[in-house]
Amino acid sequence: MNVIELQRVSVRYRTHGAKGLKEFVIRGLRGQRQHEWFASLSEIDLTIRAGESVGIIGNNGAGKSTLLRVAAGIIQPSEGVAISRGAITPLIELGTGFEGELTGHENIFFNGALLGKTRGEILSRIDEIVSFAALDGFIDEPLRTYSTGMVARLAISIATAIDTETVLLDEILAVGDASFREKCHARMRSFIERGLTVVLVSHDVDVIEQLCVRAIWLEHGRIVADGPAREVIARYQRARATSPV
Amino acid sequence: MPDFRSVPVRRNVGGRPLGLAQELRDLVAHRFLLHQLVWRDLTVRYRRSYLGFLWTMMHPLLMMLIFVVVFSRAFRFPTPHYETYFLSEYIAWMFFSQTTVNAMVSVAWNGPLMKRVFVPKTIFPISSTLAGLVNFSLSLLVLVVIMAIVGAPIHAAILFLPVSLAILGIFTLGASLALCALAVYFVDVREMYQAALPAVFYLTPVVYPIDIVPEIFRPVIKLNPMIYLLEIVRDPIYYGILPSPLTLTISIVLSLGMLTIGWIVYRHLAPRFHSQF
C-alpha cells in the first residue's frame, strides 16, 4: 500500500512577475516577458509505503518543504502527478491560524478545523490535548496572554493528538525545552509503532537517525540519495565535510 | 494498523484546474472549518469592544442617517417613506460591496494558511459570503424595526426576501471568486475595484428614484446589472409586491452567469496561488 506516490513531479515558481494589473498590461503591450521561472523540484519520482518513517535531509533551498507540500496535496505540481491515499496531516508550522483574541480552548477548535477535523472529533480529544499542553487553568484565557512556551506546547499538543494515518512534519520538533522535545519524540515514536506513516524534514540529522528507517537526501530539487537512514546520512555528512556550505 | 480499505485517494495532476466534484467533496469534509471561519468573521473583530456585535449595525445606521437627511431633506425627492425606499436597496448594496471587498481581504490574509495546511481553495470567498449574508439579514431586521417606528407599511411580500437574498448571494459569491483570484495575482485590483464601487453605486437608483433620470439615458442605465439585483430586494420591502417575472428572470440569469464566470476564473488561477504567498 503506497500512501504517497510522486511521478515525475516538478514544481516551479514564477519570479520577477508584474506586481499589479497596470504593470502587467504595460509589460504586455511592450512585448516584455511577464515573469521568470524558478524550479523548486525537478522530476521527482518517489514512493512512500504505509508505515514507513522517512526523513528528508538537504541544505537550505534544496526543496524539502516543497516536497512535503506536494506530498500533502497543499500545492499542485507544475508537472507530473502526486497521489496520496488516506488521511494525511501536514504539520508544516506550529499553531497555524492561532488567533490572539481567542481563548486557548477556541483556538484548539479552530486549529483542529484547519487540520480538517469535525467538532465531534475535536471534542473527543480535547481533554487529552489540554492535559498534554499543561496550561494550568489558562485554557479559557485569550491566547495573547500566553508565554511563547505555552503557545508552542498548545500547538504541539493539538498537532500530535490529531487522528490521522500519515503525518508530514517540517522542522517543528525543534521548539520548546529539552524535556518537552523528549515528550514530542516519544509521541513520534508511538506514531511509528502504531503503524502510522511519518515523513520528517529536519536539519538535525540526529533526530532523523533516531526516528527514521529511511532517509532521502535532496539537493537543488533533485533526489541525490534514497535508502536506509544511516547510509544516506553518512553520505550526506561526508559530502558536507568535503564541501562545506 | 490503519484501515486502508475505503481510503480516499487524491490525485493532483500538474497544471490541471480545480475540479468541481473534488472541490465540493473537500468543502463537505471541511464543513466545520467553514462554520468556524464564518463565526470568526462575525465575532473576532468585535471581541474587545464593549458594544461588540452591535458595531455590525452601526455603520449602516450612521450611513442611513446621513443619506436620509441629505437626500430626503436637501433634495426633496417626492418619494413617500424615502427612508424605506433608500435603505431597502442600500442595505443590499452594502452587502454586495462589503462582501466582495472582504472576500479579497480574506484570501490575501489567509493566503499563507493555504501554504501550511490543506484547505479547499474556495472556502474563504464562501465564508465571506455566508458571513455577509448573516449581517445582511440582521440589517434587514433593523430595517423592519425602523419601518415599524416611522409607520411605513410592512407587507406580506417580505416573506419573499429569502429568495432575493439567495439570488443576490449567488451573484456576490461569483463576483467574489473572480475578484479574489485576480487580486491574488495583482495587488492593485482591490484598490481599483474600491475606486470603481462608488461610481457603480451612483449609477444605480439607490439614493434617487429612477424617474429623475432623463428618458434618453434610461436604456443606458438599465445595462447596469445591479439595478435588477437590488430591485428584487426593494420590491417586497418598499412596494410590497413580488418582483416582476422579467426582473426575476434577469436577476437569476445574472447570478448564475456570474457564478459560472467566477468559478471558471477561480478554478484556473487557484492551483497556482501558492506561488504568490
pLDDT, tens digit, for every residue of A2-48? 999 999 999 988 776 777 888 888 888 888 777 777 889 999 999 99
Q: How large is the ipTM?
A: 0.87
Q: What is the CATH number of the domain that holds A176?
A: 3.40.50.300
Indicate whether B4 belongs to any domain: no
Cell of B63: 450611513
Does the structure show a pLDDT above 80 at A230?
A: yes
Which pLDDT value is given to residue B6?
54
Whether A4 has its CB under 8 Å from any CB of chain B: the answer is: no
Nearest-Cα residue of chain B relative to residue A108: B36
Give the amino acid at B204. Answer: T
Indicate whether B133 belongs to any domain: yes
Domain count, chain B: 1
Which pLDDT value is given to residue B2?
47
- Asked whether the beta carbons of A87 and A168 are under 8 A apart, the reply is no
- Asked whether the beta carbons of A5 and A30 are under 8 A apart, the reply is no
Show the domain range for A217: 2-242
Q: Which residues of chain A have a CB within 8 Å of the CB of B115?
A: 69, 74-75, 92
Model confidence pLDDT, tens digit, residues B48-61: 565 666 766 676 67
Cα distances (Å, whole numbers) of residue B175 to A19, B96, B161, B180:
22, 9, 21, 8
Pick the closest to residue B129 from B272, B231, B255 (CA basis): B255
Indicate whether B249 belongs to any domain: yes
Smallest CA–CA distance, residue B17 to chain A, in Å, is 10
Indicate whether B6 belongs to any domain: no
The length of chain B, given as a count of residues:
277
Listed as ranges, residues in chain B with pLDDT below 70 are 1-7, 44-53, 55-57, 59-60, 72-75
Smallest CA–CA distance, residue B33 to chain A, in Å, is 5
Cα distances (Å, whole numbers) of residue B243 to B24, B164, B253:
32, 9, 14
Whether A65 has its CB under 8 Å from any CB of chain B: the answer is: no
CA torsion, points A115, A120, A124, A127, in degrees to nearest 10? 70
195-214 in A: which are within 8 Å (CB) of B?
Answer: 195-196
Which pLDDT value is given to residue B1?
45
Which pLDDT value is given to residue B4?
46
Whether A180 has its CB under 8 Å from any CB of chain B: the answer is: no
95-114 in B: which are within 8 Å (CB) of A?
Answer: 113-114
Which pLDDT value is given to residue A218?
94
Mapped onto helix, strand or coil, the DSSP state of residue A211 is helix
A207 pLDDT tier (thresholds 50, 70, 90): confident
B14 vs A79, A115, A122: nearest CB: A79
Show the domain range for B76: 33-276
CB environment B97-135: b (16+ within 10 A), e (fewer): bbbbbbbbebbbebeebbbbbbbbbbbbbbbbbbbbbeb
B13 vs A22, A81, A85: nearest CB: A81
Cα distances (Å, whole numbers) of residue B148 to B31, B55, B266:
38, 22, 43
Whether A39 has its CB under 8 Å from any CB of chain B: the answer is: no
Which run of H or of E encompasses A38? Answer: strand A36-49
**Percent over 90 (pLDDT), chain B:** 57
Whether B11 has its CB under 8 Å from any CB of chain A: the answer is: yes
Does the structure show a pLDDT above 90 at A145?
A: yes
Least confident stretch, A64-68, A219-223, B110-114, B196-200:
B110-114
Cell of A72: 500533502
Domain count, chain A: 1
Whether B182 has its CB under 8 Å from any CB of chain A: the answer is: yes
Contacts of A132 (CB under 8 A, 6+ apart): A153, A157, A160, A161, A183
Chain CA centroid to CA A211, Å: 16
CB pairs under 8 A between A and B: 131
Burial of B157 (0-12, 13-18, 19+ CB in 10 A): middle
Indicate whether B5 belongs to any domain: no
**Percent over 70 (pLDDT), chain A:** 96
Whether A26 has its CB under 8 Å from any CB of chain B: the answer is: no
CB environment B243-276: b (16+ within 10 A), e (fewer): beeebbebbbebbeebbeebbebbbebbbbbbbb
**Percent over 90 (pLDDT), chain A:** 46
Whether B260 has its CB under 8 Å from any CB of chain A: the answer is: no
Indicate whether B246 belongs to any domain: yes
Pick the closest to residue A110 from A98, A93, A123, A100 (CA basis): A98
How large is the average pLDDT for residues A187-204? 87
